[in-house]
Each structure stands twice: as structure tokens, then as C-alpha cells.
Amino acid sequence: FFSHLLTMSPWLAMLLLVDLCAAVEERNPHHNTVEHHSLIGPFISEWWQGGVPHWDFGASAVITDKYVRVAPDKQSRTGWLWNDQANHLTQWEALLSFRIHSRRNPGADGLALWYVETPSKYDPNNKGSQPNLWGNNVDFKGLGIIFDTYDNDGQRDNPVVSVIYGAGDPNQKWDIENDLNAQAKMRCVYEFRNTPKHSQVKARIVYADKTLRIFLSTAEDEKETYCGQVENLEMPTGYYFGITASTGHLADNHDVYGFVVTAAPEAIKQEDQKIYGDVAPHRVANPDAPQQTGGPHVGRLL
């Protein structure tokens, strides 16, 4: 390949090299990717023998090679994905790639990204009520970023992204009928439902200096859309990242293609020390090598 570059014009050779580097960069995580908090495919061809490393999944969640269908286009379904490593980073950035879609209109209910003290792992085979906060319990303690697809209050302001903060109160009443209007710390309207088939929604969440900022984009966008921010936000360490989704009388497919957490290299080293001690983690993308995996998987592999 490189011998052919010598016979090309300098500009063409440069463009080909840029494309090649971009492709390599896409396949290989950056050095500042926090792998034990990230969900990176392919999910079955790389990891099927031991599940998905560092993640547990259950209820209606189904793992495919290219994405996780957290909740399907069927009525009254709930699914979840929870990271099994507590986060010790004080500043971080996360990129969630997803697609919510169906052939019917309207759809419901939506997807949520969580950062909470205690993960909620609903098991439909056990007795107990189904979580009704986009797949999580109402008494969660921590942060929730809700990608709400259904316009409950008829104000024509959905799909909408809402940020909520829970104090762990079992008596908490969430005003879902009014789309959390009065309770959300921040809201922004963005058309993230029924994007084209090969166009995922990218939600970039940045937490630094006690401020949470959210940016949104799709393949059709020339640049990111600034969704908004929440200031003076205390995000404790020791909490867990998670993704949930739910449907009701109306339904959509809720597919997650990836969740990548990044941080400064020095911060990653410090967190590795807390998790692994003096033994540095040996991370390989090899299905034949021993892998650190999550707990029992209640969901299904396809």
C-alpha cells in the first residue's frame, strides 16, 4: 500500500493517509478510554463466551453483535444495562450512541442514562412491581438523563432530553404526566426519534468543575447541538453508570450501539490503582483470553 503512495500526487497521498489513520483510530480505543466503564462492540463475536465485560444486563434487554436492544417495540417492556465497576473519576466525558425507532407513530417511552448509588436490576421472573421511571426505580439516588419520546402533556415539545436528580426518597413523586417540566434541572428539545436507519444519535456528556454539559448530534448534522448544562452539581464518586429503557401502551425499539467513557490519562491511572491495586489491568479484546465479566445475565444473547 505504502509503495503505491509514492506514485500518487502529494495531496491524494495525504488524503489516503488521513482516511487510514481515522479508520485505525475508530477501531482502536484512544489511550484515554476508560475501558472498565465503556460498552464497546462488537458484543458477541468478541465477548460471547463471558458476556459483555464490565456490564450486566437483564429483563427485556437483548444483546446482538452490533447493538444492545434495551427494550423492544412491544408493549410494557423494561430492559437495563448496568456497569459493574463503581466510578472513581471526578471529571469525565461520556459518549452514548443510540437509536430509538419504530414504524408506528407515536412511540414511547424512551431511554435513560443513569449515574446512581445503587443500580436497579428488575427481574420480571420475580414478584414485584415493574420500575416506572424509564426502567429505573422512583427512589433512585443520583443523576438521570432522560431521552423522553412521548408527549404526555400535549405541549408538542417531545422528543425531549431532561436531566433529573434523585435523593433516594421512597416517597418521591415524579410528574411524568407533565413530562417532568417542573422537576427537570435542564431540558432541551431534539429530534432523536426515528433517525435514518444508519444514523445513530450521539449524546456527549461532559462533567467537569461541578458542571454537566450535554451535546447532541446525528450523522446528518454538520456540528453538535448544545443541549444545555447544569451548574453547581455535586457528582459523588463510587456511583454506577447505567442505561435503561421502557415501553408502555405505545412502543419503540431502543437500541444502544455504544457507551464510551474517557478521562485524562493520569485520572485513569489513579482510578486503576483504586480498583486493581498494584496489579495493572491487562485489557485485551480476545475472546480466548480470560475476561473480567459481570454477574449473572438475566437478558438474552442473540
Note the pLDDT tens digit of each residue in 114-171: 999 999 999 888 866 678 899 999 999 999 999 999 998 888 889 999 999 999 999 9
In the prediction, which pLDDT does 6 show? 39
3-state secondary structure of 278: coil
Local structure of residue 293 (DSSP, 8 states): B
Give residue 39's identity as a one-letter amino acid code. L
Please name which of 235, 240, 295, 238 lies closest in space to residue 83, comparing C-alpha atoms. Answer: 240
CB proximity list for 179: less than 8 A, separation 6 or greater: 148, 151, 152, 153, 155, 157, 158, 160, 162
Domain assignment present for 270: yes
Task: Give the angle 264-29-244 at the CA atoms, nearest 5°.
Answer: 85
Q: How many domains does the chain have?
A: 1
Q: Measured between alpha carbons, how far is 51 from 53 in angstroms, rounded to an integer?
A: 6
Asked whether residue 228 is assigned to any structural domain, the reply reads yes
Mean pLDDT over residues 67-90, rounded? 96
Q: Given a cut of 70, is residue 219 above it in pLDDT? A: yes
Within a domain: 146: yes
The answer to which of 45-54, 120-129, 250-259 has the lowest mean pLDDT is 45-54
Cβ atoms 233, 206 nearer than 8 A: no
Percent of the chain with pLDDT over 70: 78
| Furthest CA-CA distance within the chain | 72
Q: What is the mean pLDDT of residues 10-34?
A: 45
Q: What pLDDT is recorded for position 139?
A: 95
Give a yes or no: residue 250 inside a domain: yes
For position 72, what pLDDT does the model report? 97
Is the CB of residue 100 less than 8 Å from the CB of residue 194? yes
C-alpha angle 263/266/268, rounded to 5°? 50
Whether 80 is in a domain gets the answer yes
Cell numbers 438523563: residue: 145
Inform me whether the pLDDT recorded for 20 exceeds 50: no
State the Cα–Cα distance between residues 10 and 85, nearest whole angstrom.
48
**Is residue 24 in some structural domain?**
no
d(CA 296, CA 302): 16
Contacts of 24 (CB under 8 A, 6+ apart): none
Domain with residue 203: its CATH number is 2.60.120.200
CA distances to 68, 113, 246 from 299, rounded to whole Å, are 10, 18, 14
Mean pLDDT of the 19-23 span: 36
Mean pLDDT in the chain?
Answer: 83
* Residue 19 counted as domain residue: no
Task: Pick 1 or 265 by higher pLDDT.
Answer: 265
The answer to whether residues 241 and 37 touch, using CB atoms and an 8 Å cutoff, is yes
Parent domain of 44:
36-276
Task: Classify residue 11: in a domain, yes or no.
Answer: no
